[in-house]
């Protein structure tokens, strides 16, 4: 625990705009982000087709998106990188155009294995792996399971190696989000998805919207009915897996070039001294805070992000 860090009050997990965007990408709200045109799928060892956008030519770079995102969130960066690199950006299971098979289980170890199989399928030679949020955890899972021998370097974007907090670890989500809190939300969503989601939205909303979402209000009744029809078991399995992940023991042993980019205005980690933690634990890492960016520096400042990443690639790939 960083002695200079005080626990921050718990935050609500998601607001209404972010909720709608994430649900659309996860295939729970229309099909705006599920178009697979132009993607090159490969088959994982369990038969799941995983679509990948491939651009450019040069040193291999793999871009791994976060929870509720898709390869599309990387495109402003990917197009810049593609001028000098061969870029691979997937839709992870349950995201974008990658619809999971009925009854399938999505976990972080499964995503790490998928990343390993992407490298195999495209016969990549020492790629640079770049992961944002959940994608950074996926990269860490890959390194834990498969080592660093096939990797030229890694970049981790706005992510703690452990998202839950306890008395000895305050560098997770919001600086104060316990394992019990996240697993409790997951358990609640398994029993009553509508009640759990709408409670989170109501808590983050103003008085007018809270009145519209009341159980006896027309909008509230419609939303509760609709949410009750969704199949979200695989995504809840993934959320539970993320809460259980802990890669703190991996970081001191990293023997590949490492870059860490943090958002100075991140709603997840602003005020949490992850920069000092990474500098101390991974001394050879380059750590940079994009002061004006939130949780997604690559989306907020794609030109700067791509330029900085190209410098990193030039030095190490």
**What is the structure's pLDDT at 15?**
45
pTM value is: 0.83
To the nearest 10 degrees (0 to 180), the angle between helices 16-25 and 193-203 is 140
**What is the structure's pLDDT at 254?**
96
**What is the structure's pLDDT at 277?**
98
* Phi, psi dihedral angles at 75 (to 5 degrees): -60, -40
**What is the structure's pLDDT at 224?**
59
**What is the structure's pLDDT at 34?**
45
How far is residue 278's CA from residue 273's CA, in Å, rounded to a whole number? 9
**What is the structure's pLDDT at 21?**
47
**What is the structure's pLDDT at 193?**
62
Token pair 């619809």: residue: 99
* Cα radius of gyration (the chain): 19
**Domain covering 16-312, topology:** Rossmann fold (3.40.50)
Domain residue ranges of the chain, discontinuous segments joined by +: 16-312
Instruction: Tell me the average confidence (pLDDT) per consecutive run of 10 residues in the chain, 317 residues long.
Output: 41 45 45 61 95 97 93 97 98 91 88 98 97 97 97 98 95 89 81 65 63 68 58 78 95 97 94 96 97 96 98 90
* Phi, psi dihedral angles at 290 (to 5 degrees): -90, 100
Which residues 6+ apart lie within 8 Å of 92 measured at CB?
50, 64, 65, 98, 111, 114, 134, 135, 138
């Amino acid at each position: 625990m960083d002695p200079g860090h005080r626990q921050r009050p718990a935050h609500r997990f998601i607001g209404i705009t972010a909720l709608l965007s994430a649900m659309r990408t996860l295939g729970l709200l229309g099909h705006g982000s599920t178009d697979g045109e132009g993607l090159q799928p490969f088959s994982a060892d369990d038969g799941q087709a995983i679509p990948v956008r491939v651009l450019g030519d040069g040193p291999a770079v793999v871009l791994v998106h976060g929870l509720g995102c898709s390869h599309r969130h990387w495109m402003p960066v990917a197009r810049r990188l593609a001028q000098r690199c061969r870029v691979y950006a997937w839709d992870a299971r349950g995201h974008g155009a990658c619809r999971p098979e009925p009854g399938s289980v999505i976990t972080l170890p499964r995503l790490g294995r998928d990343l390993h199989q992407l490298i195999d399928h495209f016969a990549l030679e020492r790629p640079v792996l770049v992961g944002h949020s959940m994608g950074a955890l996926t990269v860490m899972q890959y390194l834990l399971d498969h080592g660093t021998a096939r990797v030229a370097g890694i970049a981790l974007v706005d992510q703690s190696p452990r998202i839950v907090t306890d008395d000895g670890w305050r560098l997770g989500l919001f600086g104060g989000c316990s394992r019990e809190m996240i697993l409790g939300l997951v358990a609640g969503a398994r029993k009553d998805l509508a009640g759990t989601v709408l409670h989170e939205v109501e808590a983050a909303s103003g008085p007018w919207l809270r009145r519209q979402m009341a159980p006896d209000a027309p909008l509230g009744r419609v939303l509760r009915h609709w949410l009750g029809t969704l199949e979200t078991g695989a995504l809840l399995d993934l959320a539970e897996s993320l809460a259980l992940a802990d890669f703190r023991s991996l970081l001191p042993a990293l023997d590949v070039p490492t870059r860490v980019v943090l958002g100075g205005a991140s709603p997840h980690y602003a005020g949490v001294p992850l920069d000092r933690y990474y500098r101390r634990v991974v001394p050879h890492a380059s750590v940079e805070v994009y002061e004006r960016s939130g949780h997604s520096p690559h989306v907020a400042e794609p030109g700067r992000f791509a330029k900085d990443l190209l410098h990193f690639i030039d030095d190490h790939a």
